[in-house]
């Protein structure tokens, strides 16, 4: 509503006026789109370390950092990579797996690095063991 109004007119403090109007408007409140509640999915407690890992990327100015969290202990590994590519992810994870062993479950946010064919090959290799 604010965006549409701004495309036609500009007035000082128009955003505040629109908010106030919406708060007082019965029709606006009845037709308001509310997000559906999503049920919370608690993760089960793990009996052994490194059985489930969670990972994602964080970025700095000139490099990306692969963060891998052990769900059992909440300890993490931070691995610097030049670019957050599928290849860099696979190389970093292979080093971690050589050190800590293979996890039973890997949890990601389905970023492009984690849904690539190269990453799928890595996880398929894990399933063979």
- pLDDT digits over 52-106, tens only? 999 999 988 888 999 999 999 999 999 999 999 999 999 999 999 999 988 988 9
Q: Name residue, tokens 């955003």.
A: 15
Where in the chain are all domains bearing CATH 3.30.420.10? 52-127
Q: Express each pLDDT in 92-119 by its tens digit.
A: 999 999 999 889 889 998 888 888 888 8
Determine the pLDDT at residue 128.
Answer: 57
**Which CATH code of 2.60.120.920, 3.40.50.2300, 3.90.550.10, 3.30.420.10 fits the domain covering 52-127?**
3.30.420.10
Is the CB of residue 66 less than 8 Å from the CB of residue 89? Answer: yes
Longest Cα–Cα distance of the chain, Å, equals 66
Q: Assign residue 110 a region: left if phi > 0, alpha if psi is -120 to 50, beta otherwise? A: left
Nearest to 80 by CA among 57, 97, 54, 106: 57
């Amino acid at each position: 509503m604010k965006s549409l109004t701004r495309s036609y007119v500009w007035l000082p403090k128009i955003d505040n006026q629109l908010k106030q109007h919406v708060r007082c408007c019965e029709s606006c409140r009845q037709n308001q789109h509310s997000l559906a509640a999503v049920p919370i999915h608690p993760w089960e407690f793990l009996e052994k370390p490194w059985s489930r890992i969670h990972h994602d990327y964080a970025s700095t100015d000139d490099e990306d950092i692969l963060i891998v969290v052990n769900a059992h202990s909440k300890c993490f590994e931070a691995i610097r990579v030049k670019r957050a590519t599928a290849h860099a992810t696979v190389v970093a994870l292979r080093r971690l797996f050589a050190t800590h062993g293979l996890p039973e479950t890997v949890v990601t946010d389905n970023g492009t690095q984690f849904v690539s064919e190269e990453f799928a090959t890595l996880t398929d290799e894990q399933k063979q063991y």
